[in-house]
Chains A and B, each alone.
Chain A
Amino acid sequence: MHKDQPLIFEISKPGRIGYSLPELDVPALNVEEVIPADYIRTEEPELPEVSELDIMRHYTALSKRNHGVDSGFYPLGSCTMKYNPKINENVARLSGFAHIHPLQPEETVQGALELMYDLQEHLKEITGMDAVTLQPAAGAHGEWTGLMMIRAYHEANGDYNRTKVIVPDTAHGTNPASATVAGFETITVKSTEEGLVDLDDLRRVVGPDTAALMLTNPNTLGLFEENILEMAKIVHDAGGKLYYDGANLNAVLSKARPGDMGFDVVHLNLHKTFTGPHGGGGPGSGPVGVKAELIPFLPKPVVSKGENGYYLDYDRPQAIGRVKPFYGNFGINVRAYTYIRSMGPDGLKAVSEYAVLNANYMMRRLAEYYDLPYDRHCKHEFVLSGKRQKKLGVRTLDIAKRLLDFGYHPPTIYFPLIVEECMMIEPTETESKETLDAFIEAMIQIAKEAEENPEIVQEAPHTTVVKRLDETTAARKPILRYQK
């Protein structure tokens, strides 16, 4: 039986240290002389007291209780859990990138500005947009930044009544949440039985109060919205803007560009499509690209190129303002840039081709065992429904937990919300056929277990360091920190 992993606080012992600070080389000064007594803490923070080896063993033990892409297959739909190249990590750690201060004089950071500028240029070409800002820290932050720009655009046209943002019922939760933070009301547009935006419903909800339609393409069902130009026309005719959630760009690299599909604003998730990496939840990077008429509203500052080199342009009277201190998650942008330069135009085209090939292959092989709600070519991901298994008393959650026993991270589950018992599978292009086949075999075995021996699925996982956890109590009686 697996044992509890002690908290770092539980292995702490007074008298041990894990640091090495330089010797004080200036005259010692009594803090009491310069800080008023009320402002000197009387109770010390209860931080751990451990040796360096204690720390390394602790975190090594924790890492062994964690599954990453390097540990095994991670087909988490919508998240593009592809391989994270190691050169990226090396480049980001070069002192000239890692240890530069954002407020250094521009002439001392020309290399950094050049990289940012060139990344912007690459992303412009990849998305088909006219300008790109690298400031947003993640996808959701990019969404909000883009919506604020759309808002500023409408207001600059004296158009103050565009209070609504339309999102499909398949949209990711951040889309409506970002609309709220940007001060809009969210309107939902329905999907058809084919899994695409219902054009009639779109015509019904679009109007003079429409600020924007937010869309992923391919959508979160993994299907390409083939009526995209028609949708763009409906929204544009009503005076609204089209927003592209780039979470799914991996599917269409070098095949179709948001800028050519009629989108006015685009965000990318560099931690997904461009090997960020995901960091256990972040940091990411969510650059935003725009068409020419939205350029004046880009957040400040804009990385630009002038006669004397690269510079940060603050002279932008119509800018929405600042969205983040400094210039974005530069370290992640360095990694994405390294990746793009490692792939080149041919490599990026191969990325979408293999991502789509892999997804279709898995979809076809699994369709026999699980319900396939949308039977057509998918793009980089596809959804299955666990309806059939549910009738046998096995829920999608159970299937996900059973996959853990096979050493896999399960697909995204219960999203999109419109698919019953949904499983959203995204293999990515960096996985081999052997890996896909092994996962498929595991899924087939689980489907069989659901019929023959459902308990083994319902009671899964069996091999993990903890079994299913009591989430209800966790939420009812929250314990959010360690206390002695």
Chain B
Amino acid sequence: MLHRYLPMTEEDKQEMLKTIGVQSIDELFSDIPESVRFNRDYNIKKAKSESELMKELTALAEKNMHMKKHPSFLGAGVYDHYIPAIVDHVISRSEFYTAYTPYQPEISQGELQAIFEFQTMICELTGMDVANSSMYDGGTALAEAALLSAGHTKNKKVLVSKAVHPEYRDVLKTYAKGPGLEVVEIPFKNGVTDLEALQAEMDEQVACVIVQYPNFFGQIEPLKEIEPIAHTGKSMFVVASNPLALGILTPPGTFGADIVVGDVQPFGIPAQFGGPHCGYFAVKSALMRKIPGRLVGQTTDEEGRRGFVLTLQAREQHIRRDKATSNICSNQALNALAASVAMTALGKRGVKEMAIMNIQKAHYAKNAFVEHGFDVPFTGPFFNEFVVKLNKSVKEVNKRLLEKGIIGGYDVGRDYPELENHMLVAVTELRTKEEIDTFVKELGDCHA
């Protein structure tokens, strides 16, 4: 058949069959027993030409309401941020996106160096010593942090704050079943981890304490007070962190975190209905040989030139098989590259400026809600998200907002029954004053 992705001509095919010494391609499949042969065509949609398919899929995409057209106040782990135009130009260079894992360093120096730079930027933001080349996402990175802690401490109890993203906690619970870890959730008080409750759960069996910074409600967890408690006995201190917030907030490494994880989606990665995003994983140097996933290291070639290679591979599945520190193989390299480009474009100054702008806009919005008589139940310091109490269901309110072309905030009651009718509002640097004012006005009569 003629297809633009299939270059073999009939003549090529005949020549090749002759070289192989068979009459037909079918003969090459003769080792598939008749009993398992698939003897019909797939009952799937017929092929479409490029232009027809583009038309169909464009129409399908248009069925979705998207955040470039409609202002969105949704966050909860995925944010609508400024993506420098250059990001897409870099990741569209097909030397990057059509390559695979840099197994052959001599022809993969571009990817390897880009990842080395990514690792450096993550270390800088988190205040940690070593960062890997990426994980699937923030949620699985968090789960792997718990597995690492359990393996390292030989303990089985994982304490996780209930103010950690509910979906991250769900992923953690699924991962915990494999090695049989016990996951204990620590309640929150005024929107941050309840320190007394945490203290009460601490014992010699704890593998790690996991908190999020800023947490699911946008609140800035008091890492300074949590750290000494988290470090009771052998327990490790794990912090999940939005890397953009670290443009202004004191990094978890400074507070003594052993492992810092999160998702770099805020840097140059579109929301894409939840994925692909890109997890990061950073540790103190003591844990360097236990970190999951690929690591790029600097070295030299025979002639003394600087070069980069995948290193400390004795941790990984292709060498250690069932004894590997993780099963991860393919990761999210291209998105790590996107994040690197965005972090580079923003740079030292822009990351801080953008983080501050998030704080300013979110605080403006929060103040506007308060002025309009809304209850904002959590009163601690926050980054770019906060919780507002409404007098009716968030679902209903959001429906109304949609009619005005606004994508409202997240229904916190879905995961926290005690916070029914509470909306989690995210305000990034992209939301204008006008959009915020309209949003608050439209919610005008919804205060409890």
Contact = CB atoms under 8 A, between A and B. Distances in A.
Contacts of B220: 35-36, 39
A224 interface: yes
Contact of B3 (A115, A299, A323, A343): A343
Interface string B145-162: 001000000000000000
B35 A62 contact: no
B190 interface: no
A282 B134 contact: yes
Nearest to B213: A39
Interface stretch (B123-131, B193-201, B204-212, B229-237): B123-131
Given A21-B354, A56-B89, A177 B322 contact: yes
A141 B175 CA distance: 11
Interface in A1-26: 1-5, 7-9, 12, 16-22, 24-26
A326 to B, nearest CB: 3
A466 B106 contact: yes
Interface in B287-306: 288, 294-303, 305-306
A27 B68 CA distance: 25
B215 interface: no
A432 B16 CA distance: 11
A431 interface: yes
Output the residue of B53, B99, B343, B352 with the most chain A CB within 10 A.
B99
Contacts, number: 701
Interface residue tally of chain A, by bracket? 35 or more
Contacts of B104: 67, 400, 404, 409-410
B106 A55 contact: no
A125 B42 CA distance: 7
A308 interface: no
Interface residue tally of chain B, by bracket? 35 or more
A33 to B, nearest CB: 9
Interface in B372-412: 381-382, 395, 398-399, 402, 407, 410
A304 to B, nearest CB: 16
Nearest to A123: B44
A215 B265 CA distance: 35
Given A22-B430, A173-B324, A470 B98 contact: no
A87 B3 CA distance: 14
Contacts of A151: 177
B381 A35 contact: yes
Interface string A332-365: 1000001011111111111101101110110011
B289 to A, nearest CB: 9
A65 B113 contact: yes
A223 B103 CA distance: 24
A467 B303 contact: yes
Contact of A94 (B30, B57, B278): B57
A1 to B, nearest CB: 7
A99 B31 contact: no
Interface in A371-413: 376-377, 400-401, 404, 409-410, 412
A240 interface: no
A321 B140 CA distance: 13
Contact of A415 (B1, B300, B318): B318
B45 A111 contact: no
A168 interface: no
Contacts of B20: 357, 360-361, 364
Contacts of B363: 29, 34
Output the residue of A178, A322, A430 with the most chain B CB within 10 A.
A322
A101 interface: yes
Contact of B38 (A68, A114, A260, A479): A260
B108 A66 contact: yes
Interface in A299-314: 299-300
Nearest to B324: A177
Contact of A326 (B125, B275, B353, B360): B275
A465 B305 CA distance: 9
Contacts of A226: 31-33
A317 B80 CA distance: 33
Interface in A262-292: 269, 271, 277-285
A115 B96 contact: no
A42 interface: yes
B443 interface: no
Given A67-B95, A357-B28, A45 B246 contact: yes
Contacts of B256: none
Interface string A418-440: 00000000000111110000000
B311 interface: yes
A99 B67 contact: yes
Contact of A62 (B110, B254, B407): B110
A198 B279 CA distance: 40
Contact of B178 (A40, A122, A182, A224): A182
A280 B333 contact: yes
Nearest to B2: A350
Output the residue of B5, B33, B306, B430 with the most chain A CB within 10 A.
B5
Contacts of A130: none
B348 A48 contact: yes
Given A111-B61, A360-B22, 15 more contacts: A26-B433, A45-B121, A55-B345, A74-B100, A96-B58, A174-B317, A279-B332, A338-B53, A344-B44, A345-B41, A356-B25, A357-B8, A432-B8, A481-B130, A482-B116
Closest 4 CB pairs of A and B: A326-B274, A344-B47, A96-B61, A102-B274
9 contacts: A20-B84, A79-B100, A105-B399, A122-B44, A137-B136, A144-B327, A282-B276, A283-B332, A430-B7
